[in-house]
Amino acid sequence: MSKYFEDVDVNGFPPDVLPEHQKYEHPLVQRYATKEMSGIFSPAMKFTTWRKMWLALATSEQELGLDISDEQLQQMKENLYNIDFDKAAEYESKFRHDVMGHVHAFGEVAPLAMPIIHLGATSCYVGDNTDIVQLKEAMKLIQLKLVQALNTLKVFAEKYKDVPTLGFTHYQPAQLTTVGKRCTLWMQDLLMDYERITQELENLPMRGVKGTTGTQATFLELFNGDHAKVKQLNEMVCSKMGFSKCIAVSGQTYSRKIDYHILSLLSGIAQSAYKMCGDIRLLANLKEVEEPFAKNQIGSSAMAYKRNPMRSERCCSLSRYIMSLPPSAANTHANQWFERTLDDSAIRRIILPEAFLATDVVLNLLANIADGMVVWPKVVEKHLMEELPFMATEKILMECVKAGGDRQELHEAIRVHSMDAGKVVKGEGKANDLLDRLSKDPLFAVVHDKLDKLVDPMLFIGRSKEQTEEFLAEEIDPVLEEQKELLRKECLDGVNV
């Protein structure tokens, strides 16, 4: 510690600093996340789902002939949301076991049901199945945010589909494209992400009723060796919890490869977002495009004139974190020995919620940026016209050849004029004067009166406009139509953008 602090107790807060201000606050929750995604991974969601899992199990066991009364089930049903979190914490501290803490807390408010709560189950019955429920609900929210982002970007792409702009390869000037066509590149990435998450949601299985090592031995004992009833119990519980698919086999836990697949999916969304926002940051530097900028927003505490692309920067920052998470899930899966080890628990409590919380923020940011993105057409045109004369030389050459000119002589003249014009641009910092040079050269006399027409930017955008229209009509509109009910939902509380 530096000498400046040697007489200061870094943990000695003044008496007026409240205890809640002396604790670390997770920025994903406190600063960025929406209440919807936070709610999915909240203790309330987790532990009410545990109770729903116990109710689904007990109800199915009764339906298959076990001695469980309607009164027991009714008492469970009436107290699904009646959770005394402090009491559960006391029991957990006593038993050093979170599931048993909540079994006893549930039993206190549903005493008739206490003997049959968690009957035949292991901790992973509530733990893993609830994880799957939370992952499913979180993916549904991400799917909605993807649709909203695509819907907002569609408006932007449609508006600027025929506005020529300088294309880049290697971040060097290349053939022209349009502002709207470039937007479809961002949209195509997000569309691929949407297709992946839709497929994942359709195929996501529940762990179901599998027992301590996945053999269902305890349930087979409960049903006196009736294999058909044990199999039926598994299917009934999954159905009651809204799942059409169950994992075929498991150890104590569902395969952690599922976590890896889901985090890889979220990483893909982050990659798409990073690409889009990286492009916007570069365009902002060129002053061609700006993200929304609030009336009283301050870009820099020192440089009052600055308009930093802070939304795009935040998006890239969070996306970089999301992209870092799949290797953790991969290593967790790879290190699950035999039927299960507990070294998966702590890391999953962190990376699964955080990946979704961050992805939710990223997609909110994308929609917000797209909704208020500003294009400066005159700046776009200026940059385009600085390079277009070079790109137009082939058209000029061919027009002169068709009029009877010598192709090789004309080519050499264009080469010399281009090099000289390039020296003026780079060496003297002046405007590109290639067209002026050609207009004064007798070799190009046949095109002197139509040089302006030969450098019309619309002649150089290829099928950019048509490609944009086709992409929106054939790829995006069907998705928006399919998900129109999602788009009709009221706007969710957004991130602090």
Instruction: Tell me the β-bridge partners of 375.
Output: 289
Q: How far is Cα 272 from Cα 292, in angstroms, rounded to an integer?
A: 20
> If you count them, how many residues does the chain have?
497
Element (H, E) at 177: strand 172-178
Name the active-site residue from 2, 21, 170, 301. 170
Cα-Cα end-to-end distance for the chain:
37
Around Cβ 420, how many Cβ atoms within 10 Å? 12
Q: How far apart are CA 85 and CA 397, in angstroms?
A: 80
Measured at the CA of 70, the angle between CA 67 and CA 76, to 5 degrees, comes to 105
374-375 and 172-178 beta bridge pairing: unpaired
d(CA 332, CA 205): 20
Burial group, residue 12, by CB count within 10 angstroms (0-12, 13-18, 19+): exposed
The candidate with the shortest Cα–Cα distance to 314, out of 41, 496, 147, is 496
Q: Which residue has the tokens 């990286």?
A: 278
Contact 193, 268 (CB under 8 A): yes
Active site residue 170: yes
Q: Kindly name the residue from 69, 93, 244, 300 that is annotated as catalytic.
A: 300
Backbone phi and psi for residue 246, each to the nearest 5 degrees, phi listed first: -120, 150
Q: Map residue 375 onto helix, strand or coil.
A: strand
Residue 9 is encoded by which pair of tokens? Answer: 């107790």
Q: Residue 168: helix, strand or coil by DSSP?
A: strand
Give dist(CA 86, CA 98) in Å, integer.
12
114: DSSP letter: G
Q: What phi and psi values does residue 203 have, to the nearest 5 degrees?
A: -105, 0
C-alpha 472/C-alpha 160 separation (Å) is 13
b/e burial code for range 50-83 (CB count within 10 A of at least 16 → b): bbbbbbbbbbbbbebebebeeebbebbeebbeeb
Annotated catalytic sites, by residue? Answer: 170, 300
